[in-house]
Amino acid sequence: MTILLLCIGLLVLGYFTYGKVVERVFGPDPNRPTPCSSMADGVDYASMPTWKVFFIQLLDIAGVGPIFGPILGALYGPVALVWIVVGAIFAGAVHDYFSGMLSVRNRGASIPDVVGGFLGLNARRVMRFFSLLLLLLVGVVFVLSPAELLSNLTGLNVQFLVVCIFGYYFLATILPIDKLIGRLYPFFGALLMFMTLGVLVGMALGDAPVLPNLDVTVNTHPQGLPIWPLLFVTLSCGAISGFHSTQSPLMARCIRNESSGRLVFYGAMIAEGIVALVWAAAGMSLFYGPDALFQVIQSGTPSLAVDQICRTLLGPVGGFLAILGVIILPITSGDTAFRSSRLILAETFNLSQVRPAKRLLLAIPLFVLAFIISTQDFDLIWRYFGWSNQALAMLVLWTAAIYLRQSDKFHWIATIPAMFMTAVTVSFILQATIGFNLSPEFSNPVGVAAAVLALVVLLRVKPFTSHTP
Domain CATH for 371: 1.20.1740.10
Nearest to 428 by CA among 398, 396, 383: 383
Mean pLDDT check: name the lowest of 119-128, 256-265, 458-467. Answer: 458-467
Cβ neighbour number for residue 134 with a 10 Å cutoff: 23
The set of residues, in sequence order, having a beta carbon less than 8 Å from that of 291 and lying 6+ positions away, is 222
Cβ neighbour number for residue 231 with a 10 Å cutoff: 24
- Whether 441 maps to a domain, the answer reads no
Which has the higher per-residue pLDDT, 321 or 341?
A: 341
Cβ neighbour number for residue 437 with a 10 Å cutoff: 10
**Cα 457 → chain centroid:** 28
Report the distance separating Cα 222 and Cα 67, nearest Å: 20
pLDDT (mean) for 243-251 = 93
Measured N-to-C along each axis, helices 18-26 and 2-16 cross at an angle, to the nearest 10 degrees, of 20
Contact between 242 and 4 (Cβ < 8 Å): no
pLDDT at position 469: 31
**Would you give the DSSP letter of residue 90?**
I
- Whether 31 maps to a domain, the answer reads yes
- Whether 411 maps to a domain, the answer reads no
- Whether 416 maps to a domain, the answer reads no
- Residue 108, pLDDT above cutoff 60: yes
pLDDT at position 162: 86
- Residue 381, pLDDT above cutoff 70: no
- Whether 404 maps to a domain, the answer reads no
Report the distance separating Cα 192 and Cα 326, nearest Å: 8
Contact between 385 and 64 (Cβ < 8 Å): no
pLDDT at position 465: 57
Which has the higher per-residue pLDDT, 272 or 186?
A: 272
Which has the higher per-residue pLDDT, 26 or 323?
A: 26
The pLDDT confidence band at residue 468, using thresholds 50, 70 and 90, is: very low
- Residue 379, pLDDT above cutoff 70: no
The pLDDT confidence band at residue 17, using thresholds 50, 70 and 90, is: very high
The pLDDT confidence band at residue 318, using thresholds 50, 70 and 90, is: confident
Cβ neighbour number for residue 27 with a 10 Å cutoff: 10
Percent of the chain with pLDDT over 90: 58
Contact between 210 and 8 (Cβ < 8 Å): no
pLDDT at position 196: 85
Mean pLDDT check: name the lowest of 29-38, 59-68, 202-211, 436-445. Answer: 59-68
Region of 233 please: left (phi>0), alpha (psi -120 to 50) or beta: alpha
Report helix, strand or coil for 231.
helix
Query: pLDDT tens digit string along 49-84?
Result: 999 999 999 988 887 778 888 999 999 999 999 999
- Whether 396 maps to a domain, the answer reads no
- Whether 256 maps to a domain, the answer reads yes
Report the distance separating Cα 89 and Cα 29, nearest Å: 23
Contact between 421 and 462 (Cβ < 8 Å): no
- Residue 391, pLDDT above cutoff 50: yes
**Total domains present in the chain:** 1
**61: domain range?**
2-391
pTM of the complete model beyond 0.85: yes
The set of residues, in sequence order, having a beta carbon less than 8 Å from that of 217 and lying 6+ positions away, is 79
- Encode burial over 246-277: b for 16+ CB neighbours within 10 A, e otherwise: bbbbbbbbbbebbebbbbbbbbbbbbbbbbbb
Which pairs with CB-CB distance under 8 Å and at least 24 residues apart come from 376-383? 378/137, 380/434, 381/137, 382/137, 382/141, 383/434
- Whether 170 maps to a domain, the answer reads yes
Nearest to 293 by CA among 398, 392, 210, 221: 221
